[in-house]
């Protein structure tokens, strides 16, 4: 696509992932952190609310703006950590600790069903907002496997 894209995140892992995904489609993109844009508090009631909060905070730069919000929702935990997935990792962003919390919460149940949800909010230079949601159903596996991801994706 033509023009510049602002990826509305300060998360280095997301910047790396978005960079790999977007490189074939965008001539130029930059993170909100690189532009010294503020990182808004995630006060929304839904993933879409939070994705839009982040996109709107970065949209003032006058470029296309893309933001996401995502989380792991474990059915036996009533959908937790869900909207609070990052907060479960604490201020140090310790996702191993967060996964231990999930594991401990599942100690007395055989239900390992879960889903991962990701919402993208895209704002064009004219201010039009577009929201997209994806959901991946699955089951929790222990111990966590992998070494190429971040967050709840080890």
Q: If 0-12 CB within 10 Å is exposed, 13-18 middle and 19+ buried, where does residue 12 land?
A: exposed
pLDDT for res 135: 97
Q: What is the mean pLDDT of residues 53-70?
A: 92
Residue-wise pLDDT tens digits, 81-132: 999 998 998 888 888 889 999 999 999 999 999 999 999 999 999 999 999 9
Q: What is the mean pLDDT of residues 17-30?
A: 87
pLDDT for res 26: 85
3 state SS of 124: coil
3 state SS of 66: strand
pLDDT at 1 over 70: no
Name the band, by pLDDT with cuts 50, 70 and 90, for residue 11: confident
Phi, psi of 124 (to 5 degrees): -85, 170
pLDDT for res 94: 86
Is residue 69 annotated as part of the catalytic site, yes or no? yes
**Tokens (6 digits) for 151:** 């967050």
pLDDT for res 54: 96
DSSP one-letter code for 84: G
Distance CA 123, CA 25 (A): 16
pLDDT at 23 over 70: yes
What is the overall mean pLDDT for the chain? 90
pLDDT for res 2: 66
Distance CA 35, CA 127 (A): 19
Contacts of 15 (CB under 8 A, 6+ apart): 7, 9, 31, 33
Instruction: From the options 3.90.1640.20, 3.40.50.2300, 3.90.950.10, 3.10.450.710, give the CATH code of 4-139.
Output: 3.90.950.10
Residue 103 to residues 74, 83, 110, 140: CA-CA distances in angstroms?
A: 10, 18, 11, 9
pLDDT for res 107: 94
Residue-wise pLDDT tens digits, 118-152: 999 999 999 999 999 999 999 998 887 777 666 76
Of 68, 69, 104, 126, the catalytic one is 69
């Amino acid at each position: 696509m033509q023009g510049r894209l602002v990826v509305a995140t300060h998360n280095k892992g997301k910047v790396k992932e978005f960079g790999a995904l977007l490189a074939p489609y965008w001539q130029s993109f930059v993170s909100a952190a690189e532009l010294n844009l503020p990182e808004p508090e995630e006060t929304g009631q839904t993933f879409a609310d939070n994705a839009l909060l982040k996109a709107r905070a970065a949209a003032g730069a006058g470029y296309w703006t893309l933001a996401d919000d995502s989380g792991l929702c474990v059915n036996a935990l009533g959908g937790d950590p869900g909207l609070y997935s990052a907060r479960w990792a604490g201020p140090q962003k310790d996702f191993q600790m967060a996964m231990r919390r999930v594991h401990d919460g599942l100690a007395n149940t055989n239900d390992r069903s879960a889903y991962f949800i990701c919402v993208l909010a895209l704002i064009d230079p004219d201010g039009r907002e577009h929201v997209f949601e994806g959901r991946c159903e699955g089951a929790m596996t222990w111990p966590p496997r992998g070494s190429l991801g971040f967050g709840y994706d080890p």
